[in-house]
């Protein structure tokens, strides 16, 4: 059995021959270390303190005080893991660790810690704490990767992948005026987190500028838990298109306006919500459509609503299909408008482009799980992730762990400590295997 110095020398030797065996660790007969599951899950529990809400989950929305306090805690964990954390101009936290060869492109590993309002304690948090745990385990075992390593905590994933999309160059400057759930605009939020919108262009990374990206995440669906599978190997991540929809009618007295003389924006919006559901269901496939937020104005019981603002979100692995469904909905809304004397206007909020993961990364993740005697299932992600932005600039892989009962974006979100530890061990083993194989 080799010691660490011999291991590193063998790693360099094997890398120098560039004829790396399929499984370096088997060839070198080196046991890949395991993460410290107890520490990892303790960090998750500690992280859940920031923004904890009365119903048992977290409301740690991006750019909130809880988000900023949690980020400070995460940066402490990075330092303890011998990472050097900095905040980039987009407000992302990047913990760097030098590799053996500074000329190689960096390997990135990470996720997010912001949550939806009344969200759960695992979405994004498992991958963020898992990435830091992997770095700490490497440090404790004196393993130095060939590639420079960057552990990234992306800012405002839930509001629209703003941190990772800034790096992939997909944030339209117009979006910086969007108002986030914290009430701050994206630009104000980035400054609140220590970023600098004026220097946003500096965080842009060109396609090919990273050796690869890995993300550990909870499935947020029920497949793995239902079928008792340990690890999900993600093959594709859905595209997400969101619009703000404004329905305009005419506010009038609720008592003196006859029912056939109304231009009731909320009646039109109610029919629109049903239209979205009916249209999405009517088309074969896995697409989904949601109206997640709706507000009527002026919002008084004795006034016929003259205006409604709601959101429309469509998701599918195929961007063209999303737009086909959208066009059908818009056409159907025109009939609603005619029938109710109202009008519909659409403003896109943001677009996350669908992504396919890299087949080499999928193979490494599956093999790493198998070496750990864990079962795997290849599956698509119905949730959006920072990995889909990273896939725009480099080869990307995603590792899922089971979500109990498939519940997510809810205080009842739950993944077990054992599953989380399994996921982090697969993340560590996959990172090391890819580090030995990639240029």
* Interacting residues with ligand HGY (CB under 6 A): 123, 157-158, 383-384
Nearer to ligand HGY, 111 or 437 (CB): 111
Nearer to Mn ion, 220 or 279 (CB): 220
Nearer to ligand HGY, 97 or 217 (CB): 217
Q: How far is the CB of 123 from ligand HGY (least distance, A)?
A: 6
Query: 395-432 b/e with 16+ CB inside 10 Å = b?
Result: bbbbbbbbbbebbbbbbebbbeeebbbbbbbbbbbbbb
Q: Which stretch binds Mn ion (CB under 5 A): 59-67, 115-123, 372-380, 389-397?
A: 115-123
| Nearest in space to 390 (alpha carbons), one of 173, 110, 199 | 110
Return the structure tokens found at 2.
């080799």
Nearer to Mn ion, 123 or 316 (CB): 123
- What CA–CA distance (Å, rounded) separates 191 from 90? 8
CA distances, 5 to each of 1, 2, 144 (Å):
12, 8, 10
Nearer to ligand HGY, 150 or 413 (CB): 413
| Nearest in space to 417 (alpha carbons), one of 139, 140, 128, 43 | 43
Q: Which does 306 bind (CB under 5 to 8 A by kind): Mn ion, ligand HGY, none?
A: none
Q: How far is the CB of 149 from Mn ion (least distance, A)?
A: 22
Q: Which stretch binds Mn ion (CB under 5 A): 48-56, 121-129, 184-192, 205-213?
A: 121-129
Q: Which stretch binds Mn ion (CB under 5 A): 120-128, 225-233, 243-251, 312-320?
A: 120-128
Q: How far is the CB of 304 from ligand HGY (least distance, A)?
A: 34
DSSP annotation string for 159-228: TTSHHHHHHHT---GGGGGSB-TTSSBHHHHHHHTT--GGGGGGG---TTSSSEEEEEEE--SSHHHHTT
Q: How far is the CB of 279 from ligand HGY (least distance, A)?
A: 21
Q: Which residue is nearest to Mn ion (CB)?
A: 124
Helix (H) / strand (E) containing 79: helix 65-80
Placement of tokens 């893991």 in the chain: 81
Q: How far is the CB of 111 from Mn ion (least distance, A)?
A: 7
Q: Which residue is nearest to ligand HGY (CB)?
A: 383
- What CA–CA distance (Å, rounded) separates 213 from 427? 11
124 binding Mn ion? (CB under 5 A): yes
Q: Which does 384 bind (CB under 5 to 8 A by kind): ligand HGY, Mn ion, none?
A: ligand HGY
Q: How far is the CB of 351 from ligand HGY (least distance, A)?
A: 13
Nearer to ligand HGY, 148 or 384 (CB): 384
Q: Which does 380 bind (CB under 5 to 8 A by kind): ligand HGY, Mn ion, none?
A: none
Nearer to Mn ion, 106 or 124 (CB): 124
Return the structure tokens found at 372.
């750990």
CB 202 within 8 A of CB 89: yes
Q: How far is the CB of 114 from ligand HGY (least distance, A)?
A: 9
CB 115 within 8 A of CB 44: no
Query: 306-330 b/e with 16+ CB inside 10 Å = b?
Result: bbbbbebbbbbbeeebbeebbebbb
Nearer to ligand HGY, 236 or 384 (CB): 384
Q: Which does 249 bind (CB under 5 to 8 A by kind): Mn ion, ligand HGY, none?
A: none
- What CA–CA distance (Å, rounded) separates 243 from 298? 21
- What CA–CA distance (Å, rounded) separates 163 from 215? 15
CB 15 within 8 A of CB 22: no
236 binding Mn ion? (CB under 5 A): no
Interface size with Mn ion, residues (CB under 5 A): 2
Nearer to ligand HGY, 333 or 389 (CB): 389
Q: How far is the CB of 158 from Mn ion (least distance, A)?
A: 5
DSSP class of residue 261? G
Q: How far is the CB of 281 from Mn ion (least distance, A)?
A: 24
Nearer to ligand HGY, 85 or 380 (CB): 380
Q: Exposed, middle or buried: residue 256 (CB in 10 Å: 0-12, 13-18, 19+)? A: exposed
Of the candidate residues 114, 123, 413, 435, the single one contacting Mn ion (CB under 5 A): 123
Placement of tokens 């974006």 in the chain: 409
Strands 84-87 and 93-97: antiparallel
Q: How far is the CB of 146 from ligand HGY (least distance, A)?
A: 32
Binding site for Mn ion (CB under 5 A): 123-124
């Amino acid at each position: 059995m080799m010691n660490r110095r011999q291991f590193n020398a063998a790693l360099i030797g094997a890398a120098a021959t560039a004829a790396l065996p399929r499984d370096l660790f088997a060839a070198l007969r080196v046991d890949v270390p395991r993460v410290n599951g107890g520490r990892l899950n303790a960090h998750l529990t500690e992280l859940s303190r920031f923004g904890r809400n009365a119903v048992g989950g977290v409301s740690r929305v991006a750019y909130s005080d809880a988000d900023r306090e949690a980020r400070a805690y995460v940066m402490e964990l990075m330092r303890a893991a011998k990472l050097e954390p900095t905040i980039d101009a987009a407000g992302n936290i990047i913990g760097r660790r030098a590799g053996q060869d500074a000329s190689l492109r960096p390997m990135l590993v990470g996720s997010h810690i912001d949550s939806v309002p009344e969200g759960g304690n695992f979405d994004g948090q498992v991958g963020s704490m898992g990435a830091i745990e992997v770095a700490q385990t490497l440090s404790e075992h004196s393993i130095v990767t060939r590639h420079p390593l960057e552990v990234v905590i992306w800012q405002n994933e839930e509001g629209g992948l703003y941190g990772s999309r800034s790096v992939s160059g997909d944030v339209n400057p117009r979006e910086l005026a969007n108002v986030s759930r914290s009430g701050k605009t994206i630009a104000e939020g980035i400054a609140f987190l220590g970023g600098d919108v004026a220097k946003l262009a500096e965080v842009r990374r060109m396609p090919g500028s990273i050796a690869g990206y890995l993300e550990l995440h909870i499935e947020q669906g029920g497949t793995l838990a239902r079928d008792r599978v340990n690890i999900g190997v993600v093959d594709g991540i859905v595209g997400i298109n969101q619009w703000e929809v404004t329905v305009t009618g005419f506010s009038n007295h609720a008592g003196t306006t006859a029912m056939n003389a109304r231009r009731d924006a909320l009646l039109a919006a109610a029919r629109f919500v049903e239209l979205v559901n009916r249209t999405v269901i009517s088309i074969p496939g896995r697409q989904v459509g949601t109206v997640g937020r709706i507000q009527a104005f002026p919002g008084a019981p004795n006034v016929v609503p003259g205006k409604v603002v709601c959101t429309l979100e469509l998701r599918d692995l195929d961007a063209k299909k999303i737009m086909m469904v959208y066009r059908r909905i818009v056409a159907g809304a025109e009939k609603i408008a005619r029938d109710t004397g109202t009008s519909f206007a659409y403003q896109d909020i943001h677009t996350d482009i669908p992504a396919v993961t890299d087949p080499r990364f999928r193979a490494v993740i599956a093999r790493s799980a198998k070496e750990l005697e864990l079962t795997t299932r290849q599956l698509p992600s119905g949730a959006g992730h920072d990995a889909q932005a990273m896939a725009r600039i480099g080869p990307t892989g995603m590792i899922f762990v089971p979500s109990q009962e498939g519940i997510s974006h809810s205080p009842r979100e739950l993944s077990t400590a054992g599953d989380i530890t399994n996921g982090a061990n697969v993340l560590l083993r996959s990172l090391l295997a890819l580090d030995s194989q990639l240029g």
